[in-house]
Homo-oligomer: A and B are copies of this chain.
Amino acid sequence: MPEPISFYFDFISPYGYCAASRIDALAARHGRTVQWRTFNMRSVNATVLGADKPLFLLPLKGPYFSQDVPRTVKWFGLPYDPGSVLEFNPLAALRAFWFLNDQNPQQAKAFAWRVMQAFFAEKTVPNEPALVAAFAEEAGADPQAVLAYLDAPEAKARLKRETEDAVSKGVWGTPTFRVGDQLFWGCDRLQMLEDWLARGGW
């Protein structure tokens, strides 16, 4: 089997939601599997990129993305009724992902997708550990174990390590796909990624 594609994302990104809806099927068409990997986008923005303001508050870029996001989500055929990104603190969900992933990556994907549905399509801001644990339970995990994990220092340390690992691979935006040493940033790169897999690069 060829190396899995790495799919790096943070729950705050609607483009990550778009990408998540297609990446596994895309990879499967080329005999590949996908390793989903959450990371802390805001931490990368603050510590590596020096971006101190949310995208939606920037001049010109803010209005652009306010127009582009609903248009893109609809283009992907996905429902869109989002919660407020300014109210969303995804840390509990980002951290819980890794607990689930260690036990069962398929469960972790189902959980991640559920979190995205809640935030992007059900106007629900999944900040609270109790809600995160409930989504983990829907995906087949033990909610009490998730809550215990989120209370332990390892939850924070693990997400930090995974974020550092993503950065060490060159990741700086969400979503990013990695195939070997090739990075593809953005859900609008899915077609290029697919061509890359089909042709074995160029």
Contacts and interface: CB of A to CB of B under 8 A. Distances in A.
A195 interface: yes
B67 A195 contact: no
A192 B185 contact: no
Interface stretch (A53-61, A90-98, A112-120, A153-161): A53-61
A170 B64 contact: yes
Contacts of A192: 71-72, 75, 188
A49 interface: yes
A69 interface: no
Contacts of A64: 170, 172, 183, 185
Contact of A49 (B60, B72, B183, B188): B60
Interface string A40-54: 000000001100000
Contacts of A49: 58-61
Interface residues of A, number: 29
A60 B172 contact: yes
A61 B172 contact: yes
Nearest to A201: B71
Contacts of A71: 182, 192, 202
Q: Most chain-B Cβ atoms within 10 A of its Cβ — which of A59, A63, A188?
A: A188
A191 interface: yes
B75 A183 contact: no
B59 A170 contact: no
A74 interface: yes
7 contacts: A60-B170, A64-B185, A68-B183, A68-B184, A72-B192, A188-B192, A191-B191
